[in-house]
Structure 1
Amino acid sequence: MSEAMPGEAAPGGSGWPIGIRAILGMAGFGPGPDAVRAAVQGRVVVVTGASRGVGERVAIRLGAVGAHVVLLARGDGVDAAAEQVRSSGGTASTYRIDLRDPAAARATAELMLAECGTPAVVISNAGHSIRRPLAQYLDRFHDVQRLMGVNALGPIALLLPLLREMTAARSGHLISVSSASVDVPSPGYSAYAASKAAFEAWLRALAPELSAEGVAATSIHLPLVHTAMSAPTTAYARAPGLTADGAAALVCRAIVEKPRLISPWWARAGGLIGAAAPAAADRLFGSAILRGRW
């Protein structure tokens, strides 16, 4: 079970009993600090979306065990997050990046390589979510473009130079922090799920190539995480889910164990059922929508 790092609460969920959260795959168990330290101490670890939420908590955890954390984010919060990393005893570099601009993302990657060197671990965590049923974005194609930019195109543009150097060094680990919505239907999140699934399809096809070049790949399909990004959907406020610390513990587990996939059991099962009986799944979710339960 994960131990709490300096300056954070113990990992957990939203206040539901730990047993229920464990059964639902939402307990946020991970390795202790010593195991994480052995994997990252003295090494460069890149964290995107590091100004708040899961990315911020991951950065602080890794700084506390001796990593040189490279924090990337769009807003001013990245500097405050870097100060927290330094106050925990770690070292940090920061880069402002807007993943909606792929050319700028690639340029940032090249600059980061020149200044910090080839990373040992890259945590592609940055993301943007919109809960918007189809009827609400029929005239808002720019919402789809923005989600694709932040969740797929921008991250790929950033990663290509980094992977060039990691494969040349025949070492490293790429971790994608994704969503269980890529496994199970998520009515209301069609644009978000599509953007996340696009990146996951890219990584799924790329992972064997990376493995042959000595680079590990891990996909983490997170369930609901109670952060500022999920807060606008008030219906989720009392639903079982991970805290940002709990999700960060899963990222640390990925760093230490290097599994190909971390995903709740119900997401994997739901994906299999949905693939085997897609029409039945559509009817089930459609019925829930008509009854106002989704």
Structure 2
Amino acid sequence: MNPPLATLVGVRPHRVDGAALRRRVGGRTVVVTGASRGVGRAVAARCTAAGAHVVLLARDGGALASVADRLPAAGGRASTIAVDLRDTDAARDAAERVLADHGPPALLVSNAGHSIRRDLAAYTDRFHDVTRLAGVNLLGPIALALPLLAAMRARGGGHLVSVGTVGVGLPGPGWSVYTATKAGLDAWLRSVSPELRGDGVAVTSVHLPLTRTAMSAPTYGRSRLPALTADGAATWVCRAVVTRARVVSPWWARAGAVATAALPGTIDRLAARAWRR
């Protein structure tokens, strides 16, 4: 896709200053959740290549070990912690283990997520879908982040990057549970960011457009819609690590969020018509 068209549809590839990324993370501890595949694995590879010690978190310990063995070595290294974020006690224990073994991280990339495309009628009798996504997308990430953020604040510096979706500010029929849980985390970050800023801890929310990963494949595997690759999305994340921007999002998602807030009734009617079609 040519650059002007990529910019128009919100999948413009970013460039990352490798030297700047190394200055941010080289020789420091970086924690990446959802690191066994997709965007998380690509971010972990970038940070390891930049000389960081990357702590990989995901449910599948075997997959994590395989990723750690294959990460590029350029002065960096990797270790793994298998944890299911749906278990909030286990998530907090994982954070405490990071602190005990490595001290406060310079960077936490909260990337793990779970997505289900299901309309309201389809999960009326499946409340476990709600609790499952809330655990992975909202409660677990907060349980993991709390001890790490406390340690960052005490040290006087750090950075939390949350990998979310453009859907947090837009109506998403069929994606209600996914967007609600991701939007909940985004709202939490919006509220704690001013508190953290005073202690030198930055917060970035990355709102990714459609990205080709195993998570999106069941719904969009055959779609011809413009999309980022996992590596392209990792570039967005790593650029955010360098710039420490508060929000990274395509222009149309920001415009859509403003329109949704300003004209909720109109946007709701338009979304309803699109959903019926």
Question: Per the shorter chain, which TM-score range?
Answer: over 0.9
Identity of aligned residues (%): 55
Aligned to 2:211: 225
* Cα separation, 1, equivalents of 2:244 and 2:142: 21
Equivalent pairs, count:
276
1:197 to 162, 170, 183: 183
Aligned to 1:19: 4
Asked if the contact 1:28/1:245 (under 8 Å) is kept, the reply is no
**Could you tell me which amino acid in structure 2 is paired with residue 172 of structure 1?**
G
Q: How far off its partner does 1:32 sit?
A: 2.9
**Could you tell me which amino acid in structure 1 is paired with residue 271 of structure 2?**
F
Q: Specify every segment of 5 or more residues in structure 1 that has no aligned partner in the other structure, as ranges.
A: 1-15
Q: How far off its partner does 1:37 sit?
A: 1.1
SS of 1:100 mapped into structure 2 = coil
**Could you tell me which amino acid in structure 2 is paired with residue 222 of structure 1?**
L
Asked if the contact 2:85/2:136 (under 8 Å) is kept, the reply is yes
**Could you tell me which amino acid in structure 2 is paired with residue 232 of structure 1?**
P
Aligned to 1:41: 26
* Cα separation, 1, equivalents of 2:44 and 2:182: 22
Listed as ranges, the matches of 1:202-217 within 5 Å are 202-217=188-203
Asked if the contact 1:44/1:116 (under 8 Å) is kept, the reply is yes
Write out per-residue CA displacement over residues 95-146 of structure 1, whole angstroms, 9 at most, x where no aligned residue: 0010000011101110111011110011000000001111111110000000
2:142 to 156, 174, 182: 156
* Cα separation, 2, equivalents of 1:171 and 1:85: 27
Asked if the contact 1:86/1:92 (under 8 Å) is kept, the reply is no
* Cα separation, 2, equivalents of 1:155 and 1:236: 31
Q: How far off its partner does 1:262 sit?
A: 0.4
Asked if the contact 2:52/2:75 (under 8 Å) is kept, the reply is no
| 1:89–1:212 CA distance, 2 compared to 1 (3 A) | closer
* Cα separation, 1, equivalents of 2:231 and 2:190: 26
Aligned to 2:46: 61
2:65 to 57, 61, 79: 79
Aligned to 1:9: none
* Cα separation, 2, equivalents of 1:63 and 1:38: 13
* Cα separation, 2, equivalents of 1:169 and 1:119: 10
Aligned to 1:244: 230
* Cα separation, 2, equivalents of 1:47 and 1:123: 5
Asked if the contact 2:43/2:234 (under 8 Å) is kept, the reply is yes
**Could you tell me which amino acid in structure 1 is paired with residue 237 of structure 2?**
V
Cα root mean square deviation, aligned? 1.3
* Cα separation, 2, equivalents of 1:99 and 1:235: 26
